[in-house]
């Protein structure tokens, strides 16, 4: 295997969801909203809520352990653990450090990634770079969130959207000569749009006018930017890989709003039967939506060797990114 022919391939996936469900009917009792509005405007029916004492690192470690088990790779062989999260247990130690300990991945480097809902794609991209350069062979990318720790339950604009959960994928060195593995990636961001989606009081800057450490969002504007940037970077990775929408076996978009998913799929030209949707069960689990969906797609047998998978996300920052991969 020469350096030039190395790429990254996903060799294992895992997920972890808290037991407790919060349904739209439950939310109707908390804020002025309705199951009908949420179902129609967003596509969510219920979301999961972490138990007391169940933190991001716990969910992440469970998902990561499953990904390693599926790959048949012992934790001791992991070179790097990247954890995409906006809700780490603590800023330091990083969630990656806590997950490393839980797994017993004693040889692994550890790093949290702050790219909001795009975090898993940033992690997958960094994993690909480390593997293609020949520096590393096994990179574990985890995305884990306890979003409900930063949800303002009095704000109907945001509290209906988010849920907790984790997903993970092991990226392993793969000989690219069979045309499989990561084919193309694209990362983007624009701080000009920072005010659209914020977590005030989450860093060194005080926000005296904010009600606390709660998500604040201009939903309408985020929606427009999400559709535009996801469609653009999804098309870009296909073009880079020399593929068209007709080649896409499965598109896994970030699960933030069913109308965003539909609009992006339409713009890309991918028909609904080849778009993975599970937003109705979990809501927006931020960085975790894509690896959770990927794990379910694998469980449901929706990815066969040789299939082209495209993952595509956007998030606060604003950030966005997409990655195309040939499964197998
Ligand atoms: N329940 C009932 N009604 C609600 C509501 C709720 N939870 N939230 C807003 N409304 C009302 C509004 O008050 C407004 O009423 P009006 O017409 O009487 O003024 C109406 O519904 C439409 O509001 P609007 O904000 O235009 O709705 P929308 O169609 O843009 O949907 C979002 C709101 C937040 C669901 C949507 O903009 C969205 O999903 N944006 C992207 C957000 C996102 O994905 N963030 C995470 C990024 S990773």
Is ligand 1 within 6 A of the CB of residue 249?
no
**pTM value surpassing 0.95:** yes
Q: 191 and 172 in one domain?
A: no
Listed residues 145, 178, 211: the one ending a domain: 178
Distance CA 102, CA 57 (A): 9
Residue of 147, 229, 284, 295 marked catalytic = 284
What are the tens digits of pLDDT across the range 134-190?
A: 999 999 999 999 999 999 999 999 999 999 999 999 999 999 999 999 999 999 999
Q: 111: which residues sit within 8 A by CB, 6+ positions away?
A: 80, 81, 82, 83, 94, 96
For 86-239, list the strands marked E by DSSP.
Answer: 109-113, 138-146, 164-175, 181-189, 197-198, 216-217
Q: How many domains does the chain have?
A: 2
Token pair recorded at residue 91:
């800023």
Across the chain, what does the average pLDDT equal?
Answer: 97
Residue of 117, 159, 233, 295 marked catalytic = 117
Q: 80 and 218 in one domain?
A: no
Q: Residue 249 class from Cβ within 10 Å (0-12 exposed, 13-18 middle, 19+ buried)?
A: middle
Q: 120 and 40 in one domain?
A: yes
Q: 154 and 55 in one domain?
A: yes
Q: 151 and 25 in one domain?
A: yes
- In this structure, the residue with its CA closest to atom 44 of ligand 1 is 256
Whole-number pLDDT of residue 4 = 57
- Give yes or no: 174 in active site: no
What are the tens digits of pLDDT across the range 88-116?
A: 999 999 999 999 999 999 999 999 999 99
Q: 151 and 7 in one domain?
A: yes
Query: Is-cis flag, bond preceding 120, omega within 30?
Result: no
Q: Structural domain of residue 196, as residue ranges?
A: 181-326
Q: 28 and 51 in one domain?
A: yes
Ligand 1 pocket test target in 219, 224, 255, 312 with most atoms within 8 Å of CB: 219
Listed residues 139, 160, 178: the one ending a domain: 178
Q: 207 and 116 in one domain?
A: no
Listed residues 163, 178, 193: the one ending a domain: 178
- In this structure, the residue with its CA closest to atom 26 of ligand 1 is 220
Query: What CATH number corresponds to the domain at position 260?
Result: 3.40.47.10
Q: 193 and 127 in one domain?
A: no
Only one residue has tokens 């000989």, namely 175
Distance CA 311, CA 314 (A): 11
What angle, 0 to 180 degrees and rounded to 10, lies between the N-to-C axes of helices 289-299 and 56-71?
Answer: 40
Q: 209 and 123 in one domain?
A: no
| DSSP labels, 284-321 | B-GGGHHHHHHHHHHHTT---TT-EEEEEEEETTTEEE
Whole-number pLDDT of residue 81 = 98
Residues of the chain with pLDDT under 70: 1-4
Q: What element of type H or E holds 49?
A: strand 46-49
The count of other CB atoms within 10 Å of the CB of residue 90 is 12
The CA-atom distances, in angstroms, between 134 and each of 183, 241, 246 are 16, 21, 32
Decide: 139 and 79 in contact? Cβ < 8 Å: yes
β-strands 308-315, 248-253: how paired?
parallel
Ligand 1 pocket test target in 157, 158, 320 with most atoms within 8 Å of CB: 157
Q: 171 and 56 in one domain?
A: yes
- In this structure, the residue with its CA closest to atom 4 of ligand 1 is 33
Q: Measured from the CA of 254, which atom of ligand 1 is nearest?
A: 48
Q: 145 and 59 in one domain?
A: yes
């Amino acid at each position: 295997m020469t350096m030039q022919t190395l790429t990254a391939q996903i060799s294992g996936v895992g997920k972890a969801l808290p037991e407790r469900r919060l349904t739209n009917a439950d939310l109707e009792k908390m804020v002025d909203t309705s199951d009908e509005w949420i179902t129609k405007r967003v596509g969510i029916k219920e979301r999961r809520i972490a138990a007391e004492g169940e933190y991001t690192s716990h969910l992440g470690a469970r998902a990561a352990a499953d990904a390693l088990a599926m790959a048949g790779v012992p934790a001791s062989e992991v070179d790097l653990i990247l954890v995409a999260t906006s809700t780490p247990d603590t800023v330091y130690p990083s969630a990656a450090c806590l997950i490393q300990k839980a797994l017993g991945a004693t040889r692994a480097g550890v790093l949290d990634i702050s790219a909001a809902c795009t975090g898993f794609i940033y992690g997958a991209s960094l994993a690909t770079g480390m593997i293609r350069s020949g520096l590393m062979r096994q990179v574990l990318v985890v995305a884990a969130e306890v979003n409900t720790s930063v949800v303002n339950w009095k704000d109907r604009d945001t509290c209906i959207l988010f849920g907790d959960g984790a997903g993970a994928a092991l990226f392993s060195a793969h000989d690219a000569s069979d045309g499989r593995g990561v084919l193309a990636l694209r990362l983007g961001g624009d701080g000009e749009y920072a005010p659209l989606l914020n977590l005030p009081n989450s860093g060194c800057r005080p926000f005296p006018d904010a009600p606390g450490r709660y998500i604040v969002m201009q939903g309408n504007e985020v929606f427009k930017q999400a559709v535009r940037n996801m469609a653009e970077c999804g098309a870009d990775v296909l073009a880079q890989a020399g593929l068209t929408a007709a080649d896409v076996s499965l598109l896994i978009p970030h699960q933030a709003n069913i109308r965003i998913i539909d609009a992006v799929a339409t713009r890309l030209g991918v028909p609904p039967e080849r778009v993975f949707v599970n937003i109705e069960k979990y809501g927006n689990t931020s960085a975790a939506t894509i690896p959770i969906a990927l794990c379910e797609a694998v469980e449901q047998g929706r990815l066969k060797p040789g299939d082209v998978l495209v993952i595509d996300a956007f998030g606060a920052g604003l950030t966005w990114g997409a990655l195309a991969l040939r499964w197998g």
